[in-house]
Chain A
Amino acid sequence: MEKKRYNWPATIMLMITTVFILFPLYITIVTAFKTREELSGNLLALPGTWTFDNFIQAIELTGFWGALANSLIITIPTVIVTVLVHSIVGYVIARNLHKKGIKLLYYYIVSAMFVPFSILMLPLVTQTSSWGIDNRYGMILLYLVLNLAFNTFIYVGFVKSIPVELEEAAVMDGASEWKIYWKVIFPLLMPINATVAILTTLGTWNDFMLPLVILGGRRQLATIPLTQYIFESQFSTNYTLAFASYLLAMLPMLIVYIVAQKWVISGVTRGALK
């Protein structure tokens, strides 16, 4: 009886098609652990002996720890400041949306979602370099600006669903607006803060185009994805070395996913429902 409750055809179909997802990951792992000689053999086979030499070489050649540090230096502040600033922007806009000026401002911000990065790219590069912020800190600022439209949209939608009565009660108690926001509103925004934090983390960490145009070929500043691009010509056909580097590049987000999987999926789902 128990078995009948499961939809087995669907389960089996889904299990079979996971091959398409897992196959590239399998290839990445086995190739990263092989010796160069083994690469002339069957590429699907498991490595004869699992060697860590490729990883040691890749870490040294690409300066992996430096790239990891750069990615962290850019991603962590971006995520924190995004949540703190974009949430309060969403709040003040949502609560003043009845005013014509604010409504206009809201449309002005949100319409930026339709602006492709390609049109901003060329002027942004000359502007950041002439203002001396074509570096990791400038990148943080740019991510804050480029994500504002989408996040404002999300936060305004969420704040609208919070009853104003909560704030009015706090006003009666004589609390300042600043205090009301952090003590009353911000805690209520936590679910959506988590969503924004997850999407921002992934978007920033995995981004390639902005580091490419702003940081260019400067290895000392390069993030993890940019490092793979810079070293692509040096990897050339040394696939075992290249794949060790790719696996190292995938690892931080895979670890985050394994640790916080439930949180990540529910966070993205919540964003979808908004």
Chain B
Amino acid sequence: MKRKNSKLAWYVLVPVMTVFFLFHTLPLLQGVFYSFTNFRGYGEWDFVGFRNYLNVFSDSRVRSAYVFTLGFSVLSTILVNIISILIAVGLNAKIKYHKTLRAIYFVPYMLGTLIIGYVFSFIFSRLLPQIGYSLDISWLQFNILGNPNLAWIGIVIVAVWQSAAFNTILYLSGLVTIDPDLYEAADIDGASPSTKFFKITLPLIMPFLTINMVVAMKNFLMVFDQIVALTGGGPGTSTESVSLLIYRGGFQGGEFAYQSANAVIFFIIIAVISLFQIRVLERRQD
């Protein structure tokens, strides 16, 4: 039985792993390799040791991209998870029109981020200022995407708007596994809604919180589409994310090797953050 199984395993795994190696591991190794050279994406190159890494650490544009990306990711992750839990708890209650409401809250997940970004770009740049003028609300009269200090808010709104859908479904699938008897028992003891939420609901959906935090954070750290659609990284470089910087520098700036070094650092940061989150959140579960 076991010997037989391994025969099929060979037929399946040898070709699949060959392709996986060629198109995943090989590019990864190339990325690491070129980060120690001065390759521009074409032509001749030399080894330069750790020079790219030293330059990346002292590059203010890189630093601001990391500050923006980390700040954006932490804020969006927290907001998405709070909003998703609230919507999921609501959808899990004994509500009328349950199926219709659930279907509506899931719509954003069906749509492409880039296109949603373009729609919101119009809302921020044309619609809200128009409403601001007609209702005489001064802070609405300006396009927030044109303000280097506020443009990040627009990106957070779009990111949260879209990601909340998927996270809500994840939480909802966790909530339906909770035994309703627990709530009935709590009702008999006269527990308040907030007590029920913090003493029953939250502890029981902790495993889902762990996975949601890790997945959301990882996706937000790689933010790209929203920024292309909304600000293109601007005004100036105020909303330039790490992914956008690597893309731009690598393809348009002839910085193949330099941005490869940046990408290696980015890879390490993402891995460390993900593992750290899993550790911390799993410990809290106990």
Interface with B: A51-59, A60-68, A186-194, A225-233, which one?
A: A225-233
| Cα separation A17 to B83 with both chains bound (whole Å) | 11
Interface with A: B71-79, B146-154, B218-226, which one?
A: B218-226
| Cα separation A225 to B108 with both chains bound (whole Å) | 15
Which residue of A15, A42, A121, A225 is within 8 Å of B97 (Cβ)?
A15
Interface with A: B45-53, B137-145, B170-178, B194-202, which one?
A: B170-178
Is B186's beta carbon under 8 Å from chain A? Answer: no
A253 touches B111 (CB 8 A): yes
Is B182's beta carbon under 8 Å from chain A? Answer: no
Q: Which residues of A contact B113 (CB under 8 A)?
A: 206, 208
Is A117's beta carbon under 8 Å from chain B? Answer: yes
Is B114's beta carbon under 8 Å from chain A? Answer: yes
Which residue of B4, B26, B264, B266 is within 8 Å of A177 (Cβ)?
B4
A269 touches B27 (CB 8 A): no
A105 touches B94 (CB 8 A): no
> Least Cβ distance of B19 to chain A in Å?
6
Is A249's beta carbon under 8 Å from chain B? Answer: yes
Q: Which residues of A contact B19 (CB under 8 A)?
A: 141, 144-145
Interface size class, chain A: 35 or more
Which residue of A6, A22, A120, A142 is within 8 Å of B31 (Cβ)?
A120
- Chain A residue nearest to B13 (CB atoms) is A92
Given A116-B243, A118-B247, A120-B24: A102 and B96 interface contact (C-beta under 8 Å): no
Is B82's beta carbon under 8 Å from chain A? Answer: no
Q: Which residues of B contact A28 (CB under 8 A)?
A: 119
B247 touches A121 (CB 8 A): yes
The SS class assigned to the A binding surface is helix
- Chain A residue nearest to B23 (CB atoms) is A145
| Cα separation A40 to B142 with both chains bound (whole Å) | 17
Given A18-B104, A120-B24: A10 and B95 interface contact (C-beta under 8 Å): yes
**B interface footprint on A1-43 (CB within 8 Å = 1, 0 otherwise):** 0000111101101110110111011011001000000000011
Given A92-B12, A119-B260: A269 and B94 interface contact (C-beta under 8 Å): no
Interface size class, chain B: 35 or more
Given A114-B274, A145-B20, A272-B170: A102 and B90 interface contact (C-beta under 8 Å): no
Which residue of A24, A115, A146 is within 8 Å of B116 (Cβ)?
A24
| Cα separation A268 to B166 with both chains bound (whole Å) | 8
| Cα separation A10 to B259 with both chains bound (whole Å) | 49
Q: Which residues of B contact A264 (CB under 8 A)?
A: 106, 110
Which residue of A18, A118, A206, A239 is within 8 Å of B242 (Cβ)?
A118
Q: Which residues of B contact A109 (CB under 8 A)?
A: 20
Which residue of A42, A144, A205, A272 is within 8 Å of B173 (Cβ)?
A272
> Least Cβ distance of B14 to chain A in Å?
11
Q: Which residues of B contact A272 (CB under 8 A)?
A: 169-170, 173-174, 208
A265 touches B104 (CB 8 A): no
Is B236's beta carbon under 8 Å from chain A? Answer: no
Which parts of A232-274 form the interface with B (CB within 8 Å)?
A: 232, 239, 242-243, 246, 249-250, 253-254, 256-257, 261, 264-265, 268-270, 272-273
- Chain A residue nearest to B170 (CB atoms) is A272
Q: Give B contacts to A, CB under 8 Å.
A: 1-2, 4-9, 12-13, 16-17, 19-20, 23-24, 26-28, 30-31, 34, 41, 87, 90-91, 93-97, 101-116, 118-120, 122-123, 126-127, 130-131, 161, 166, 169-170, 172-174, 177, 208, 218, 221-222, 224-225, 228, 242-243, 246-247, 250-251, 256, 259-260, 263-264, 266-267, 270-271, 274
Q: Give A contacts to B, CB under 8 Å.
A: 5-8, 10-11, 13-15, 17-18, 20-22, 24-25, 27-28, 31, 42-44, 85, 88-89, 92-93, 95-96, 99, 102, 105, 109, 112, 114-127, 141-142, 144-146, 148, 168, 171, 177-178, 181, 202, 205-209, 213, 224-225, 228-229, 232, 239, 242-243, 246, 249-250, 253-254, 256-257, 261, 264-265, 268-270, 272-273
The 7 A-B residue pairs with the shortest CB-CB distance in the complex, in nearest-first order: A206-B112, A123-B30, A123-B27, A119-B263, A92-B9, A11-B95, A177-B8
